[in-house]
Amino acid sequence: MRVALIYPDYYHSGCISGEPQGRVHLGSGYLSAVLKREGHEVAFLHLLEPTDRETFLAWLSRQDAGLVAFSSTSLMFPKVRSMARWAKEETGLPVVVGGVHPTLDPLGTLEEESIDFVCLGEGEAALLELVEALEGRGEVDAIPGLMGRWRGRDFANPARTPLEDLDSLPFPDRSIFEMERMAPDQRERITVMASRGCPYHCRYCSNHAQRNVYPDGSRYVRFRSVDNVLSEIEELAEGAEGIDHVRFDDDILTLRPAWFKEFVREYPRRVDLPFICNSRVDLLDEEKIAALKEAGCKTICMGIESGNPWLRKNVLGRRMSDERILDAFRLCRKYGIGTVSLNMMGFPQEDFSMVLDTVKLNGRAQPGITQITVFYPFPGTELYRDCKEKGLFVDEGTDTLFTRRSALKLDGISEEQMELVSEYFTALAWLYHGIFTLPDALSRPLERMVDRALASPLLPSSWKKKACDRLLARLPWEWYMTTKY
Ligand code: B12
Ligand code: SF4
């Protein structure tokens, strides 16, 4: 069978960095590889900008597909819903949706009547079995991990146990990605994942919710063998032009000590490219950072998320001290590893002074790149439940992430404050950094003065922006975009 696999990979509000959008999505790559290995065909629509009904249906009608399959995160779902409707109305083909969103909100996804099936969790086996059952080899409504409607009846099968041996999967199919149409950094990198899952319980992150979907959540976190990962990179690096680094998309590459030890030993023996990875500050000590540097790590992305210790612990569920955070960034600097800090604002119970705590902690940590987005509660997470219970939603279901607006009713932060911090986050972090280098007697009153000026509703927003523009113009180059990620 030929499967039309669709992945909407753009944001309403433009790209994170203003570059063309579109990135390698390994989830689609794995699904395609497994289907092709079993002799099926895949027509991949990697949407890098909005489409309309006519264009979408013209593409679909050319594919001669037997199944329309969408991959969806929560922010993508409104786009997927529209396309699913168009596909159903026009072709009547069966429609399946997989990915994080249907995994966490299967019933909400199935409320859209044009969607016949949703896949819970990992989709390689379920999608293959669905294709085969639609061809008459198997029962659609008996497929583990699939829910939906079949021959007029609703059915719901629990998620299947996560695949234990990730090495048994083929390498992701990269032939489906048109690199020349995608974000420029994609042409310079090899994107890989060595693991699946994360054992932590940050209350805003979908990992705890995804883990709970599986019958045995204890098997949720898995690593491929180091040899399998490096073989994939070697295969991709051989003869490739213009590639200058490897990007590990894993949630935490440094999670498992024994795996990590083997990885940092073998990587430089087999791969001659620097790499970028994600980690947690509390999983990085001096020994690990030194080993990462030695292995070729050039950048580490780490979540600070909030600079307010109370909010971080009680609302976000992240048990790590300011000192631990600062230490990780300091050690990366010491060993010459670039850093990216990931931050959010607009949490329930957060006020503007807490937002400023995030700015200040970034000022102290001095990351190579700072990123801040407005918090969006994803279905299935504990923070989503909190927001629902407290009636905080005003704008559920929209792509608010890079628009600097919030989906929530926030009493402690105004829209103007959110916009100011989003726009000038790095410049403000640099300002506080400068203040903190002064002697205490000067630094304390100056800090309070800046806090008050930024928070004051009496000072017009245009003045604050003008002052921040001046700051931005003086920002030393090493405070922005000196790190690639
Ligand atoms: C790489 C990545 C990105 C890249 C995007 C690359 C791209 N082209 O999409 C970048 C950096 C741009 C990015 C941005 C963001 N991301 Co992101 N990202 C990821 C990451 C790390 C890897 C994705 C991946 O390839 N996974 C590996 C594959 C194997 O898993 P998978 O994609 O889920 O696919 C499997 C199953 O879901 C299922 N499946 C998927 N599709 C389909 C389709 C069918 C038909 C079937 C049957 C099955 C199926 O089968 C697949 C194979 O097993 C994930 C975390 C993660 N570990 O997955 C977060 C993740 C997807 N991102 C997330 C978030 C929150 C964001 C941001 C909002 C972050 C921010 N604050 O800026 C933005 C906006 C994204 C958006 N528009 O939705 C969340 C999404 C939560 C949610 N409920 O939607 C995740 C899950 C992280 C997390 N733990 O919370 N991200
Ligand atoms: S450590 Fe990162 S990936 Fe893991 S649960 Fe927390 S936010 Fe999610």
R_g over Cα of the chain? 23
Q: Which residue has its alpha carbon closest to ligand 2 atom 3?
A: 251
Please state, in angstroms and rounded to a whole number, the distance separating the CA atoms of residues 383 and 317: 10
Bridge partner list, 247: 191, 276
Q: Average pLDDT, stretch 248-265? A: 98
- Mean predicted lDDT score pLDDT of the chain: 94
pLDDT, one tens digit per residue, over 25-64 is 999 999 999 999 999 999 999 999 899 999 999 999 999 9
Residue 46 forms beta bridges with which residues? 7
Nearest-atom number in ligand 1 for the CA of 127 is: 47
Q: Confidence class of residue 21 from pLDDT cuts 50, 70 and 90?
A: confident
Looking at residue 399, what is its pLDDT?
60
- The residue-averaged pLDDT of 425-436 equals 95
Which amino acid is present at 479?
W
Mean pLDDT for 418-422 is 93
pLDDT, one tens digit per residue, over 221-254 is 999 999 999 999 999 999 899 999 999 999 999 9
Measured from the CA of 206, which atom of ligand 2 is nearest?
8
Q: How far is the CA of 113 from the centre of ligand 1 (A)?
A: 24
Whole-number Å distance between alpha carbons of 140 and 147: 10
Nearest listed ligand to the Cα of residue 249? 1
Question: Percentage of residues in the chain with pLDDT exceeding 90?
Answer: 88
The closest ligand to the CA of 30 turns out to be 1
- The lowest-confidence range among 59-63, 284-288, 477-481 is 477-481
Tell how far the Cα of 303 is from the centroid of ligand 2, in angstroms.
8
With 90 as the cut, is the pLDDT of residue 480 above it?
no
pLDDT band at residue 432, thresholds of 50, 70 and 90? very high
Question: What residue owns the CA closest to ligand 2's atom 2?
Answer: 251
pLDDT of 15 above 80: no
Question: In ligand 1, which atom is closest to the CA atom of 26?
Answer: 25
Determine the Cα–Cα distance for residues 93 and 312; give it in Å rounded to an integer. Answer: 46
- CATH code, 188-479: 3.20.20.70
The ligand whose atoms approach the alpha carbon of 46 most closely is 1
Residue 190, strand partner residues = 246
Q: How many CB atoms lie within 10 A of CB 374?
A: 23
Closest ligand to Cα 375? 1
83 close to 70: Cβ distance less than 8 angstroms: yes
57-103 pLDDT, tens digit per residue, is 999 999 999 999 999 999 999 999 999 999 999 999 999 999 999 99
What pLDDT is stored for residue 460 in this prediction?
A: 94
pLDDT of residue 20: 66
Residue range 390-418: mean pLDDT, rounded: 83
pLDDT-based confidence at residue 153 (cuts at 50, 70, 90): very high
Average pLDDT over residues 393-411: 78
pLDDT at 385 over 80: yes
Of 19, 24, 25, 371, the residue with max ligand 1 atoms within 8 A of its CB, to mutate for a pocket test, comes to: 25
The predicted pLDDT at position 14 comes to 46
- Tens of pLDDT, residue by residue over 171-222, are 999 999 999 999 888 999 999 999 999 999 999 999 999 999 998 878 999 9
Mean pLDDT, range 121-148, rounded to an integer: 98
Q: Do 2-156 and 188-479 show the same overall fold?
A: no
Ligand 1 pocket residue status of 43, Cβ below 6 Å: no
The region that residue 189 occupies, defined by phi over 0 for left and psi between -120 and 50 for alpha, beta otherwise, is beta
Identify which of 251, 254, 255, 320 to mutate to test ligand 2's pocket (most ligand atoms within 8 A of the CB).
Answer: 251
Q: What does the pLDDT read at residue 395?
A: 75
Q: CA 150, 156, 161 angle in degrees (round to 5)?
A: 125
- CATH for 2-156, among 3.30.70.260, 3.40.50.280, 3.40.50.620, 1.10.3720.10? 3.40.50.280
16 pLDDT above the threshold of 60: no
Does any ligand 1 atom lie closer than 6 A to the CB of residue 356? no
Q: Identify whether the C-beta of residue 72 lies closer than 8 Å to the C-beta of residue 97.
A: yes
Q: What are the residue ranges spanned by the domains of the chain?
A: 2-156, 188-479
Q: What is the predicted pLDDT for the residue at 328?
A: 98
Ligand 1 pocket residue status of 30, Cβ below 6 Å: yes
Using one digit for the tens of pLDDT, what is the confidence trace for 1-14?
A: 999 999 999 876 54
Q: Residue 485: its pLDDT value, please?
A: 57
Q: Which atom of ligand 2 is nearest to the CA of 201?
A: 5
Ligand 2 binding pocket (C-beta < 6 A) is: 198, 200, 202, 205, 207, 251, 280, 303
Residue 434 pLDDT exceeds 50: yes
**Distance separating alpha carbons of residues 71 and 148, to the nearest angstrom:** 16
What does the pLDDT read at residue 95?
Answer: 98
